[in-house]
Amino acid sequence: MHSFFEKPIGIIYAHPEQYNPLFEKLYSRGIAFETINPADHLYDPAQYEVPYSLVFNDMSSPPYFTHNALGIAQTVEYVKHVEKLNGTINSSKVMNGSRATEILSTKSRQLSVFASLGIPFPKTRIVSSIDQLLATGNELSFPILLKSNGLNDHITTTRFDSFSALVNAIINDTLPVYGDKSFVIQEYISPKGNYIVRAEILKGELLYASKVYHAGDQADAWSIEVKSSVFTPSLEITQAIEKVAHASLLDTGSIEYVVDRKSNKVYFYSIRPHTSTFSTITEGLSFNPFDRITDYLEQRLQKIKEIALTI
């Protein structure tokens, strides 16, 4: 068995390593780590010690839209197991703990965080049956979006511009709804300038933000990203972002909001507790965010080692 100081970081991550620049940074600094694929993973619930000095939950969501539906559930259970071994959900040995993962797992939980903090989000209904869709047509203003609630619900986001379009989809059985999952009906927010704002979080604080431009008039990240440029939110918005991060126990990840083209009001809509792959390069960014994340990992490791030496 490895001694504590020989233990690697365990990183819960479901993509090939080449998709995450963080791994290259860790290699270059000689920081040992192992990746944990939550969809192909086992652990012993009787174990009293994990084989990692630090568990970093960097479970990104895209694989779970189409397959490996048990990945999120396994992540939550394993992270909770590690937290219990260390006595608290604020354990220094876990980054992005079980609360952050549970919030990721459904849009309704993300929206509940915004609601609890009094932070605005698009008017929404969570629906468990197609029969309830007609009721939403009387309560929400069109256009509306039908979305998946969970990450593995296999529901394609669909826009309805009128009540009659929704009725026709129900009558003709063309709704992209499958199985017994709940789904989200949400008023469509036309994004000002065709961009959303993605705020990257580190240590529960704003690391930087960017305007992410999309192809077409879309307010959600499911449309194609075509450009990203660095952006500084107002103090009020920054404070709201960090309130969400703290309430979510988010060590690193991103929070997204959109500015309504018509009213100029801000609406939050997404919390993602994992590092971005930065497939779209952010123009004007003066530093490499993965250097900062690696610095933070080293700081966390040093703190854990100092604690271990006092025991």
Tell me: the pLDDT tens digits for 219-236? Answer: 454 457 778 999 999 999
Q: 85-133: per-residue pLDDT in tens? A: 866 544 668 999 888 888 877 899 999 999 999 999 999 999 988 888 8
* Residue corresponding to tokens 């233990």: 7
pLDDT of residue 303: 84
Q: What domains lie within the chain, and their CATH numbers?
A: 4-96+291-310 (3.40.50), 105-120+190-288 (3.30.470.20), 124-187 (3.30.1490.20)
Question: How far is CA 147 from its chain centroid?
Answer: 16
What H or E segment, with its residue span, contains residue 54?
Answer: strand 54-57
Q: How far apart are CA 43 and CA 250, in angstroms?
A: 24
Residue 218 C-beta-side C-alpha neighbours within 13 Å: 15
The answer to whether the Cα torsion of 74, 36, 201, 302 is positive or negative is positive
User: Could you tell me the end-to-end alpha-carbon distance of the chain, in angstroms, rounded to an integer?
Assistant: 19
User: What contacts 24+ positions apart, CB below 8 Å, involve 232-237?
Assistant: 233/197, 233/199, 233/206, 233/209, 237/266
Q: What is the pLDDT of residues 69-87, one digit of tens each?
A: 567 778 888 888 888 886 6
pLDDT band at residue 161, thresholds of 50, 70 and 90? very high
Whether the pLDDT of residue 62 is over 60: the answer is no
Question: So what's the pLDDT on residue 66?
Answer: 44
CA dist list (Å): 286 to 37, 62, 291: 32, 28, 12
pLDDT above 70: residue 280? no
- Taking the C-alpha atoms of residue 176 and residue 184, their distance in angstroms, rounded to an integer, is 12
Q: Which residues pair with 256 in a beta bridge?
A: 198, 270
| The pTM of the whole model exceeds 0.75 | yes
